[in-house]
Amino acid sequence: MPTAFKALLASLPAASDLLWQKTKRRLVKLQLGLAGADEATHIRAQRRLRGKDQNRRLQKADAVVVSFGKSGRTWLRVMVSRLYQQVYGLPEDTLIGFDNFHNMDSRVPRLFFTHDNYIGDYTGHTDSKVDFYDKKVLLMVRDPRDVAVSQFFQWKFRMPAEKKALNDYPPDGDDRSIYDFVMHAGGGLPKVIDFMNIWAREREKLRALSVIRYEDMRANPFETLTEVARFLDIPADADRIQEAVDYASFENMKKKEAENSFHMSGGRLAPGDKSNPDSYKTRRAKVGGFRDYFEDGQIEAINALMAKSLDPVYRYGTDAGADSPAQ
């Protein structure tokens, strides 16, 4: 069977599931609209419905990759996909999406990628990670200052209005500055820090946890991917790991995003506007790049907030220089 056709068949269950999820959301939206429900009720219902769908996948998953949005997960996903492609002879340019690789070869685990922003709305476990306790969890983190800046561009150029409302981001048409966004409790630095802190508090309760820092992956991608492969039990040798690192280079990913050549990835890895570099999913890949957007006094305020709030277990000091790993 041709590999491209095999990939298409493997993706059909996920595509059907996604279509059904969207249909359910529309039905709930219609039902609440007919009942005259207010916006807050709409948002609670939609978040709970998304949480239910994600929790179902979580329960079936063999391993979970968790990250706050814009923490480098797509880069990691491309490298992990490339390892599985090499080890099990799967189609190139097809990204792993929960069970599509498993459907092509049962030796590949069901790998659930999540930003963990809805499951608690369904289970009620918003102050703990009990839903993940018995799972093998790979937690990917990034300097929250860089994450918050990347979130600004995601919000401004890539995020649909409905998603903004659903996740408490400033609404469409809001013209706040990047500094005001970063300091905003909804989508900015405080939200990133809260996300990281709850995982830090819960880390000892998880059956298996590996924390991967974006900055370490930038500085030593081979070593970091080797650690990831070991944790996920991917039987990849050094040559395959290096090939995956080369394949997922910033330049190659930027090119593939512009060409929309990652199959079955939908709009997740496509620019909002090809003529606007800030609308790309693969935007800068710069460590410490947040400094480029603020005046000295603003950087001091941002650093003070992080120093006061972020759990030190992540080793993100406020004096980390641009283009160097945080210590």
Q: In the predicted model, what is the mean pLDDT of residues 142-158?
A: 94
Distance of CA 228 to the CA centre of its chain: 16
CA separation for the pair 78, 236 (Å, rounded): 15
Top-level CATH class of 3-313? alpha beta
Q: pLDDT of 291-325, one tens digit each? A: 999 999 999 999 999 999 999 999 998 765 443 33
Do 164 and 151 form a contact (C-beta atoms < 8 A)? no
Reported confidence tier of residue 34, pLDDT bands at 50, 70, 90: confident
Which residues have a Cβ under 8 Å from the Cβ of 156 and sit 6 or more positions away?
278
CA separation for the pair 5, 137 (Å, rounded): 31
Do 273 and 279 form a contact (C-beta atoms < 8 A)? yes
Do 137 and 47 form a contact (C-beta atoms < 8 A)? no
- What local confidence, expressed as pLDDT, does residue 44 receive? 93
CA distances from 74 to 16, 248, 301 (A): 23, 10, 30
Determine the longest span between alpha carbons in the chain, in angstroms: 61
Domain boundaries, the chain: 3-313
Which residue type sits at 293?
Answer: Y
Q: For CA atoms 214, 215, 217, 223, give the dihedral sign.
A: negative
Answer whether residue 31 shows pLDDT above 50. yes
**Considering the chain, what is the average pLDDT of its residues?**
86
Residue 299 CB coordination number (10 Å): 16
User: Could you tell me what percent of the chain has a pLDDT over 70?
Assistant: 83
- What local confidence, expressed as pLDDT, does residue 186 receive? 82
Q: What angle do CA 166, 96, 192 make, to 5 degrees?
A: 35
Q: pLDDT of 180-224, one tens digit each? A: 999 998 889 999 999 999 999 999 999 999 999 999 999 999 999
Quick one: tokens of 94? 């097809």
Quick one: tokens of 294? 């603020």
Answer whether residue 1 shows pLDDT above 80. no
Reported confidence tier of residue 3, pLDDT bands at 50, 70, 90: low
